[in-house]
Amino acid sequence: MLIAAALATTGLSACGGDGGSGDGTFTAGHSEPDHLIPGNTTSSYSFDVLDELFDTLVGLTKDGATVNQAAQSVTTEDQRIWTIRIRSGQKFHNGEPVTAASFADAWNHAAYGPNAYEANDYFSQIEGYDDLNPEDEKAKPATDRMSGLEVVNDTTLRVTLTEKFNQFPHLLTYPAFAPMPKAAFADLKAYEEAPIGNGPYQVSGKWERNKQIRLVPFPGYTGPRKPRNKGITWKSYSSADTAYTDLRAGRIDVLQTIPAAKVPEAKRLFGDRFLPRKTGTMDYLGFPLFDKRYANADLRKAISMAIDRNGINKAVYNGDYLVADSLIPQIIKGHRPGACGRPCTYDPAEAKRLFDRAGGFSGTMELYFSNAQPTYYQWMQIVANSLKQNLGIRDIQFRQIPASDYFSMLSAREEKGPYRQNWEADYPSAQNYLQNMWGSAGNKMGWETSKEIKEFDALISKGNAAASEAEAIAYYNRAEDLAIREMPQIPLWTWAGQGGRSAKVDNVTITPYATGLLAHEVTVK
């Protein structure tokens, strides 16, 4: 899949674990990113690359604590108006200075509705966002700048939110809040092929789509994440099994997720190079509520209760995953054991009763998932069989979508049936799961107009404005209870983090947050 001739001009090898030995670089495998402009993606595969190319204002430690990166300070007196001081002396990879305007320009561009960026709604709490996103999607916004962003001077940005939000410093860790240089806006298409960031690594060459992107340390980097290696190549795979085979053979050096079917073998073969970890990544089955066939909550609960989560965990994931009992994973404060209760319990008889009460289901049921992992097809097969056996739904079809197109498909609401959705923590907060996955401003289900979603949004807002963590969690839990009653999306399980490394690299840490692999810490033998 790699083009050796192109690599030869940079001195990087086509084979990370073999030919790269001795040059201080390493290779990691993942699925192909969808976009590499920070505000235009919510894909973890894109974040793998963006986290190294950009320093956001605030970062996360491996333990989930916030720490300043591009910011010198982030302060507020009322949780609504925030003053951000930019650390002086920072430069983009092209030599441009990093200023307050670098952040404001990037955020305005991502929030501008006509651009249709994937992370658009992450800016919805900034005052003036609605002016960039009129209700009539065909109408041109009257402005392209949010009134809540004030560039006070080169090193000071004042942000006014629509309401109090105590999680704002955590939100700033999200990759969409990275800065962009002025050069980016002159030719965005060219910029995406070789993004210019302010982070510890810069692009070497260009993004070779569906192949790889190579990063090398940026000599002008002055931030806190100085690389301990000479570079990283992110190699794209359409098959996780192929990526694992290459890890075994030493052709790549890091794989963050080993296919579940290979985990028993990997544990035996890799020994201390097998990398287990806790994660906050959850899988869900979402429903397109904009399709009237899925409008009944009893139908959605019936589907949930017809699925044997424990059976799938044992058959597909070796029993290593954690079956969901809440909408929030166990590593996040606010998780309550058993919060989901009966709707998340396997009960075929009750599932059939609810199914019949809802009026059953007519037509073809299409199940959507990406090709990023072979396990998605495996557990979807079991789900389909369960729905046939327990509910009597006979006509079920699979729709397997390329990973690079999957999130765009969901955002465009092109799915016509239940779909696999997952969430990897942007930052460690119950609010991050609930508001982003279920809130009316950003959910993929079309849960937008009912009185229940309005009540849900109100509870989240009260939690966001709470004076203490305990008070905030109490409101978030009430919102969770409401979402469970409606079940526009059902929780399935929390992933077990199971990666591996070659003998060539050490100090490999993979976090459960958007940062993923801490590439700058990796050492090459």
Largest CA distance in the chain: 66
Q: Which helix (H) or strand (E) holds 56?
A: none
d(CA 131, CA 507): 46
Instruction: Tell how strand 25-30 and strand 254-255 pair up.
Output: parallel
Tokens representing 73 are 């300070």
Domains of the chain, earliest start first: 1-53+199-276+497-525 (3.40.190.10), 55-185 (3.90.76.10), 282-494 (3.10.105.10)
Residue whose pair of structure tokens reads 């860790």 in the numeric block:
173
Tens digit of each residue's pLDDT, the chain (525 residues): 222 222 222 223 333 344 345 799 999 999 999 999 999 998 999 999 999 999 999 999 988 889 999 999 999 999 999 999 999 999 999 999 999 999 999 999 999 999 999 999 899 999 999 999 998 988 999 999 999 999 999 999 999 999 999 999 999 999 999 999 999 999 999 999 999 999 999 999 999 999 999 999 999 999 999 999 999 999 999 998 999 999 999 999 999 999 888 999 999 999 999 999 989 999 999 999 999 999 999 999 999 999 999 999 999 999 999 999 999 999 999 999 999 999 999 999 999 999 999 999 999 999 999 987 888 999 999 999 999 999 999 999 999 999 889 988 998 899 999 999 998 888 889 999 999 899 998 799 999 988 999 999 999 999 999 988 899 999 999 999 999 999 999 999 999 999 999 999 999 999 988 889 999 999 999
For 4, counting Cβ atoms within 10 Å of its Cβ (0-12 exposed, 13-18 middle, 19+ buried), the class is exposed
Residue 12's pLDDT is 30
Tokens representing 47 are 């974040």
Tokens representing 381 are 């097969």
Of 281, 299, 490, 289, nearest to 375 (Cα)?
281
Q: Which residues pair with 233 in a beta bridge?
A: 27, 214
d(CA 166, CA 185): 32
Is residue 117 classed as helix, strand or coil in its secondary structure? coil
What's the per-residue H, E or C state across 370-421?
A: ECCCHHHHHHHHHHHHHHHHHHCCCCEEEEEECHHHHHHHHHCCCCCCCEEE
Residue 515's pLDDT is 86
d(CA 164, CA 77): 11
What's the per-residue H, E or C state across 206-256?
A: EEECCCEEEEEECCCCCCCCCCCCCEEEEEECCCHHHHHHHHHHCCCCEEC
Of 198, 291, 225, nearest to 68 (Cα)?
225
Of 269, 180, 175, 206, nearest to 502 (Cα)?
269
Of 329, 342, 328, 330, nearest to 477 (Cα)?
328
Q: Are 252 and 474 in contact (CB under 8 A)?
A: no
* E strand segments, 20-76: 25-30, 58-60, 66-68, 71-76
Q: Annotate 181-203 with b (16+ C-beta within 10 A) or e (fewer).
A: beebeeeeeebbebbbbbbbbbb
Q: What is the DSSP track for 136-188?
A: STTSPPS-SS-TTEEEEETTEEEEEBSS--TTHHHHTTSGGG----GGGGG-H
CA triple 226-230-231, angle to 5 deg: 90
Gap between the terminal Cα atoms of the chain = 26
Of 177, 149, 175, 144, nearest to 162 (Cα)?
149
Q: Which helix (H) or strand (E) holds 39?
A: none
d(CA 455, CA 413): 24
d(CA 235, CA 256): 12
Query: Residue 360: left (phi > 0), alpha (psi -120 to 50), or beta?
Result: left
Q: How long is the chain?
A: 525
d(CA 280, CA 516): 11
- pTM recorded for the entire structure: 0.80
List all residues 6 or more positions away from 499 whose beta carbon is below 8 Å from its beta carbon.
254, 255, 256, 257, 258, 274, 275, 277, 508, 510
DSSP 125: T
